[in-house]
Amino acid sequence: MLLERHRAVGTETSSRNSEVIHAGIYYGPGSLKTSLCIRGKTLLYRFCESRGVPHQRVGKWIVAQTPAEREALEALHAFCRDEIDVPTNWVAQDEAKRAEPDIRADAGVLESPTTGIIDSHDFMTCLLADFEDAGGVLSLKSKAIGIRHIQSGGGPGSAGWEVTFRDHEEKETTFSTETVVNSAGLAADYIHNLVLPPERHIRLHYAKGNYFSYISSTPKVRRLIYPTPRAGYGGLGTHLTIDLAGRIRFGPDVDWVDTPHDLKVNPKRLSEAAFEIKKYLPSVTEKSLVPDYAGIRPKFSKEAAMVHGKGFNDFVIRKEENLTGFINLLGIESPGLTSSLAIAETVENLLYR
């Protein structure tokens, strides 16, 4: 498996990352993002509970400020109820004020009770331990420089692969394997292009998301707060997340960059973030927002939308024609972490069933 995590770097103010366990409600009927997120969420909560990975089902509020946003949330609620069977419910105005007095939601609050947060570092450490216990080897700072499809001459199913890596000391190593899984994240197009002919080459685009921590002790918020999603937007809006210690963080935005290595938080985005945040948290003060970390999402185009609709790009998980033993994973962005265990099931089924 050729693996590269979606990278994120932080400043000295950043604690270990708590990532969102998504409910699977935004991605439309029949999409892999919907089915794998819902299945993955179940597997992920089960994994966390059995392995002691820190997590919390904190829930999420999606807030509407205008009649048009309320109408969008009503459509989302109906979709969750009638088509994907994921629980959502309305929070009454007086109840919302008691629970979160600092949150503004002029036109309504839709709650997603199965949304949560997870210590992503602990989760990945557990997965790595399982991988190594099964005989796997993690080789960091090693770059694939050649992937060649070979036939042993033994008939159907006898194909294999020859993979050449170069490590950080410029030493090259070649090995053979029956299967290759391209789960390289931000470098998935590079691996794809090593394997597929030139006429089938692709290029991914990089959507950086800047995050800002909130260093003031007030206001206090106890759950995730999301704005109503905008059609055609490359993200879900600048939302409020909390970590497992209750600290508040805002982000991500959508900041298109030319390289997956541009991971420094863009300070010019702070004022824009504050403007968006104040729509649902009016008491936030810009001076208490500080750069935290940035992550990058791989997109098929700069018009790619996060929410199902015009411009929406689904996960791509497939066998490639005439390339026995090769599985391609492309465009694995959010909700990739939530979906990860379900994606693994899908890959296993493609390879062995």
Rg (CA), the chain: 21
How far apart CA 164 and CA 172 sit, in angstroms, is 7
Section 251-270 average pLDDT: 94
Provide the pLDDT confidence category of residue 153 given band limits of 50, 70 and 90: low
**Mean pLDDT calculated for residue range 273-299:** 95
Task: Assess whether pLDDT exceeds 60 at residue 220.
Answer: yes
Closest CA to 318 of 341, 350, 353, 344: 350
Q: How far apart are CA 241 and CA 250, in angstroms?
A: 6
**Mean pLDDT of all residues belonging to the chain:** 91
Three-state DSSP state, 299: strand
Q: What pLDDT does 235 receive? A: 65
In the predicted structure, residue 12 carries a pLDDT above the cut 60: no
Q: How far apart are CA 113 and CA 131, in angstroms?
A: 32
Closest CA relative to residue 202, chosen from 296, 297, 295, 299: 299
Please tell me the predicted confidence (pLDDT) of residue 307: 77
Q: Is the dihedral of CA 283, 76, 40, 319 positive or negative?
A: negative
Percent with pLDDT over 70 in the chain: 92
Q: What is residue 242's predicted lDDT score, i.e. its pLDDT?
A: 95
CA 141 from centroid of its chain's CA atoms: 23
pLDDT at residue 308 in the model: 75
Is residue 3's pLDDT more than 50? no
Q: Is the confidence at residue 237, as pLDDT, over 90?
A: no
Global pTM?
A: 0.91
CA dist., res. 2 & res. 182, Å (int): 5
pLDDT higher than threshold 50 for residue 14: no
Q: Are 167 and 142 in contact (CB under 8 A)?
A: yes
The pLDDT value recorded for residue 16 is: 60
State yes or no: pLDDT of 11 exceeds 50. Answer: no
Q: What is the pLDDT of residue 2?
A: 47
pLDDT tens track for 30-80: 999 999 999 999 999 999 999 999 999 999 999 999 999 999 999 999 999
In angstroms, rounded to a whole number, what is the distance separating the alpha carbons of residues 91 and 279?
Answer: 18
Instruction: Tell me the mean pLDDT in the region 310-326.
Output: 92
Instruction: Tell me the residue type at 338.
Output: T
Query: Rounded CA gap, 54 and 52, in Å?
Result: 6
pLDDT given at position 108: 98
Over residues 235-240, mean pLDDT = 84
Amino acid (one-letter) located at 70: R
Tokens, residue 116: 């949560």
**Mean pLDDT of all residues in 2-16:** 42
pLDDT value, residue 9: 41
Packing angle, helices 32-51 and 120-133, rounded to 10: 80
Structure tokens at 240: 């409020």
pLDDT-wise least confident of 6-10, 123-127, 180-184, 322-326: 6-10
Cite the beta strand spans of the chain per DSSP E. 2-3, 8-10, 18-21, 55-56, 60-64, 89-91, 108-112, 116-119, 143-151, 159-166, 172-177, 180-183, 205-214, 224-227, 239-242, 248-251, 255-257, 289-299, 316-319, 326-330
Among 7-16, 103-112, 156-165, 342-351, name the one with the lowest average pLDDT.
7-16
In this prediction, residue 34 carries a pLDDT of 97
Do 147 and 158 touch, CB atoms closer than 8 A? no
Residues 312 and 32: beta-carbon distance below 8 Å: no
